[in-house]
Amino acid sequence: MLRRPFESAQYASGDYPQQLAKHGLRGSMSRRGDCWDNAVAESFFASLKLELVYQVQWRTRAEVRTVIIATHN
């Protein structure tokens, strides 16, 4: 997946890395065109949707959010 130039520039700019460092965090950016950088998150949300979200006809997003938080705490 190729990042759009604006997205990459936003996270590589001086302010963003400085804020991360200030809070003791380290940023993570893969090489350009590396499609695996988001694979774990994509897999998690795909499983969540298949196993919980799509199993019930929910009335509101708030209802789904409440169930997800209650189930995973």
Domain identity same for 22 and 44: no
The reply to whether 24 and 42 lie within a common domain is no
Give the number of domains in the chain: 2
Same domain as 51, residue 27: no
Q: For residue 22, give both structure tokens.
A: 């200030």
10 falls in which pLDDT band (50, 70, 90)? low
Over residues 47-62, the pLDDT tens digits come to 988 988 888 899 999 9
Is pTM beyond 0.85? Reply is: no
CB 2 within 8 A of CB 32: yes
In this structure, the answer to whether residues 45 and 28 fall within a common structural domain is no
- For residue 25, report the phi and psi dihedrals to the nearest 5 degrees: -110, 160
Choose between 2 and 42: higher pLDDT: 42
Contacts for 65-69: CB closer than 8 Å, 24+ residues apart = none
- The domain in which residue 46 lies consists of 38-73
At what angle are helices 5-12 and 15-22 packed, to 10 degrees? Answer: 40
Question: Which tens digits make up the pLDDT trace of 17-58?
Answer: 888 889 998 777 666 666 666 778 889 889 988 988 888 899
Confidence at residue 15, expressed as pLDDT on a 0 to 100 scale = 81
Residues 30 and 44 placed together within one structural domain of the fold: no
Decide: helix, strand or coil at residue 55.
helix
**In this structure, are 46 and 70 located in the same domain?**
yes
